Structure 1
Amino acid sequence: MVGINNKIMVLGANGMLGHKLIQVLSRDFEVVGTIRKGLDKYLEYPFFKDVKLIDGITADRFNTVSEAIQKENPDFVINCIGIVKQLPEAQDAIQSISINALFPHQLASICQNIDAKLIHYSTDCVFSGSKGSYKENDFPDANDLYGRTKFLGEVNYQNSLTLRTSIIGRELNDGHSLVEWFISQNGRSVKGFKKAIFSGLTTLEHGNILCRIINEFPDLTGVWNLASEPISKFDLLDTINKYYDLDITIESDDSLVIDRSLDGLGFRNKTGIIVPNWEDMISEMYLDERNYNI
């Protein structure tokens, strides 16, 4: 039962979002994290100093997940497991349907059985990007496998909350994310798309907001857009370039036109939670860098 001394289980604790949620949530809650493998490697990171990590937990063997949840009996289960768009697996229909579409609903069922709350992360990629400023009641019109499976995986039950959003942040593993790629380009020249519009948040800010949701709005359910003020990919890279003191030349490029920005006004009105501006989020992300030096 959700209560004052909450126990949180983060599935996919070593991922880009998962490890940052672990870092932030463990300041206030008892936290358990699950990973596929490599326990000793991850214990070197300070993020995992005050948490219990369980390895051998994989979404493609659901019994490992359900057994871990039932054994730990958490109040909240945070699902950070998913096949991300940048990976080759995102082109595999069987894996994508299993992990992105079916798995969240299986989780909701297990959570219902133990009276736990499921918080699941969806994506702005459920939309095509043809118009931008998408509201919760706009029909998801993605025409690719990734977007469609993520839409099917959005859970909307009495014991679940889906946050439709997007993220940027550092990684512990393969650097296929925007930030890792951009940092690796130091001293070079890259393209910055002026007409590609983004309304995500840093993973650090996701952790801060998730803490508030658990503490202040534990009964919030449904599907909600969690979004920042929209920014072009050019301006986003320029801000990272500035705060990380990188020497990267960003060439303005108008060739890519896409706007998957979300309208987060509904969530803001419901909770009163205001997402910080991009200058503040990138500055805080940079100051958090000390945690990556092991």
Structure 2
Amino acid sequence: MKKILVIGIKGMAGHVIFNKFKDEYGFAAYGIARNIEPSENTFNLDVNNTDVLGQIITEHKFDVIVNCIGILNKDAEDNPDKAIWFNSYFPHYLEKVTKNTGTKVIHISTDCVFSGNKGNYTEEDFKDGVGFYAQSKALGEIVNDKDLTIRTSIIGPELNENGIGLFHWFMSQPDDSQLKGYSQAFWSGITTIELAKVVKWAIEENVVGLKQIAPHHKINKFDLLQLFNEIFRENKLTIIEDDHYKVDKSLLSIVTKYTYNVPEYREMLIEMKEWIKSKKIYKYEI
């Protein structure tokens, strides 16, 4: 049985990936996070303690390590030292500590490495994102012939009641709310449930280097919120179109050696709804 270590199992991506591999994918799944109850397969650890982390990695000889931690948006701008350590240095630490071993590192990156000025970004486009979050994530991407950086954008349920993701924000709004939806803000991301499938595919196909994952068509945030409203809230909210904010961070992949077909947005969101309803770990009312 293959062994996988997921770093950041309390986060939006990490908790889904960990549970998918533990319960569905037939892996021996291990996880790391801060302030959790340790168990046979989970470690209560701040990864700043690289001495202990290095011991865990060396002793367990994992087949795969998935790095899901990062300092996000405003936190990165307010704490550039933390952003550089977690977003830039730490992925390269994992790359270094597993070099010349049988352990594959899969690092999750973001569409925010791009400014959003043009859209349809490929793996060959210059990373022109502005700010500590964008630039620290750009520096953290690892590209070699053993490991993999998955560059994408994600939405999904969160364990943290103070989460800052778009879906969590939407689900926190009361019925009858009126929300702005930006019709000129384009996105081409996936759900965290789909991301777990991507990680499994990348392991099975031994995908290496840099691979962008996105649906075939981008969607604007107005239409995305309309889908949220229909699928998760029975259209109880009102989404008002706003065309003043313009940005396009949509992704395209030109790495033809590896092909992953992402489902349509509606299909991914319906699957995400079923995932949330089947778990007892969320506080959303669906």
**TM norm structure 2:** 0.91
Within 1, Cα distance between the matches of 2:31 and 2:231?
31
Within 2, Cα distance between the matches of 1:72 and 1:202?
30
Distance 1:22 1:238, change over 3 A: same
Residue of 9, 21, 25 corresponding to 2:21: 25
Which residue number in structure 2 is paired with residue 249 of structure 1?
A: 238
Q: Deviations over 1:111-151 (max 9, x none)?
A: 11532100001110010000000011110001211111101
Instruction: Please state how far the C-alpha of 1:7 moved relative to its aligned partner.
Output: 0.8
Residue of 88, 112, 125 corresponding to 1:101: 88
> Is 1:164 the counterpart of 2:151 in the alignment?
yes
Paired residue type of 1:98: W
- The range that moved more, 240-249 or 193-202, is 240-249
Q: Is the 8 A contact 1:83 1:90 kept in 2?
A: no
Within 1, Cα distance between the matches of 2:131 and 2:75?
14
Within 1, Cα distance between the matches of 2:268 and 2:8?
23
Which residue number in structure 1 is paired with residue 273 of structure 2?
A: 286
Q: Is the 8 A contact 1:164 1:226 kept in 2?
A: yes
Which residue number in structure 2 is paired with residue 8 of structure 1?
A: 4
Paired residue type of 2:29: V
Which residue number in structure 1 is paired with residue 129 of structure 2?
A: 142
Q: Is the 8 A contact 2:76 2:133 kept in 1?
A: no
For the residue of structure 1 that corresponds to 2:58, the secondary structure is: helix
Q: Is the 8 A contact 2:33 2:46 kept in 1?
A: yes
Within 2, Cα distance between the matches of 1:22 and 1:154?
21
Which residue number in structure 1 is paired with residue 46 of structure 2?
A: 58
Paired residue type of 1:10: V
Instruction: Please state how far the C-alpha of 1:278 moved relative to its aligned partner.
Output: 0.4
User: Which residues of structure 1 form unaligned runs of 5+?
Assistant: 44-50
Which residue number in structure 2 is paired with residue 122 of structure 1?
A: 109
Paired residue type of 1:76: V
Within 1, Cα distance between the matches of 2:21 and 2:81?
33
**TM norm structure 1:** 0.89
Within 2, Cα distance between the matches of 1:194 and 1:292?
33
Which residue number in structure 2 is paired with residue 180 of structure 1?
A: 168
> Is 1:151 the counterpart of 2:138 in the alignment?
yes
User: Which residues of structure 2 form unaligned runs of 5+?
Assistant: 282-286
For the residue of structure 1 that corresponds to 2:62, the secondary structure is: coil
For the residue of structure 2 that corresponds to 1:95, the secondary structure is: helix
Q: Is the 8 A contact 1:111 1:159 kept in 2?
A: no
> Is 1:212 the counterpart of 2:201 in the alignment?
yes
- The range that moved more, 89-98 or 140-149, is 89-98
Q: What is the identity percentage for the equivalent residue pairs of Structure 1 and Structure 2?
A: 35
Paired residue type of 1:195: Q
Instruction: Please state how far the C-alpha of 1:60 moved relative to its aligned partner.
Output: 2.3
Q: Is the 8 A contact 1:16 1:171 kept in 2?
A: yes
Q: Is the 8 A contact 1:124 1:166 kept in 2?
A: yes
Instruction: Please state how far the C-alpha of 1:211 moved relative to its aligned partner.
Output: 1.2
Q: How many residues align?
A: 275
